[in-house]
Amino acid sequence: MKKIAVVILNWNGAKLLEQFLPSVLAFSDEATIYVADNASTDDSIEVIKSQFPSVKIIQNTGNFGYAKGYNDALQEVEEEFYALVNSDIEVTENWLTSVLNLFESQPKTAIIQPKLLDYKKKTHFEYAGAAGGFIDKFGYPFCRGRIFETLEEDQNQYDDELEIFWATGACFFIRKDVFRELNGFDADFFAHQEEIDLCWRAFNLGYQTKYTSKSVVYHVGGATLNEGNPMKTYLNFRNSLLMLTKNLPKNQLLPILFIRLFLDGLAGIQYIFKGKFMHCLAILHAHFAFYKCFRQFYYKRMAIQKPNYYKITSIIVSYFFKNGKVFAKLF
């Protein structure tokens, strides 16, 4: 058995599979390739069987989203390391080599992210994960190479290996044993920020998440839900609040949640001024869903919540009031 499994979650993505599976097959000799299909209604399965017969197919019984979709599929995957790869990812030569070296030389490194560049503008970092993720004290995520809507050009400024707080779900490497120890992704998230929650839970157990620039992939982004979709806004705001509820140190939980809800309200007002009324409504729906789920997620808390989880106090203050548009200017 090979040491690493590349597992691509698919839902009605036949065209993406035709476009991007060839690069995965060309540059992944170290891996067994799987497509985990979330009950697609297009011809995805036929495309795989006819054009990519070496790819193993795992058929989920429904469209379970990212979290449960992977949880169910990975029960059937026994390789030592998982590479969870979006169907709109183009990989490059030797993209697995440095990742395998890190896993084998660093036992406490449980999760790894490659350099994520924009498939549509290959000189720049891509929104979903760029050069590795962090959060501020109030749970707002940001990346080296991407803060809010500001994307940096790749000028080798992040050509390094570094401990980060979260790795993007677009191309997410994790040890099988750690994934199972953590019981996988939180299926109640459905999609968005479940990878940050998983990384946070791994952090609380003393594991490390790393970024390596020696592995490079290109991501289209927004192939399932684009940035203009209010459902994406709903999921991001709801799931961020639920993630804080699960993982914040107990003495910080209520004060930070109170401030975070207020800041979300300001974001809603900003959407109104931009004429994006459905996005403002999505934040309101996210908050009501959060209130409804608070007790359920509070009881999911682990025994240990480490206090030093955040990189800076407020990415909002740094970005909007201190001109911290790029990572290097945040400190």
Do 154 and 249 have their domain in common? Answer: no
Do 62 and 143 have their domain in common? Answer: yes
Residue 116 sits in which domain range?
A: 4-219
Domain count along the chain? 2
167 class by beta-carbon count within 10 Å (0-12 exposed, 13-18 middle, 19+ buried): buried
Residue 131 makes CB contacts below 8 A (sequence gap 6+) with 115, 116, 125, 143, 144, 145, 158, 211, 213
Of 198, 219, 240, which marks where a domain is finished? 219
Residue 317 lies in a domain: yes
Do 205 and 253 have their domain in common? Answer: no
Tokens of 166: 């979260």
Do 127 and 209 have their domain in common? Answer: yes
Do 205 and 277 have their domain in common? Answer: no
CATH, residue 61: 3.90.550.10
Report the C-alpha gap between 86 and 295 in whole angstroms. 32
Residue 104 lies in a domain: yes
Of 173, 198, 219, which marks where a domain is finished? 219
Do 35 and 155 have their domain in common? Answer: yes
Do 127 and 234 have their domain in common? Answer: no
Distance of CA 313 to the CA centre of its chain: 22
Do 165 and 235 have their domain in common? Answer: no
Do 31 and 162 have their domain in common? Answer: yes
Do 123 and 253 have their domain in common? Answer: no
Of 159, 184, 219, which marks where a domain is finished? 219
Do 212 and 237 have their domain in common? Answer: no
Report the C-alpha gap between 188 and 252 in whole angstroms. 23
**pLDDT, tens digit only, all 331 positions of the chain:** 899 999 999 999 999 999 999 999 999 999 999 999 999 999 999 999 999 999 999 999 999 999 999 999 999 999 999 999 999 999 999 999 999 999 999 999 999 999 999 999 999 999 999 999 999 999 999 999 999 989 999 999 999 999 999 999 999 999 999 999 999 999 999 889 999 999 999 999 999 999 999 999 999 986 555 667 899 999 999 999 999 999 999 999 999 999 999 999 999 999 999 999 999 999 999 999 999 999 999 999 999 999 999 999 999 999 989 988 999 999 8
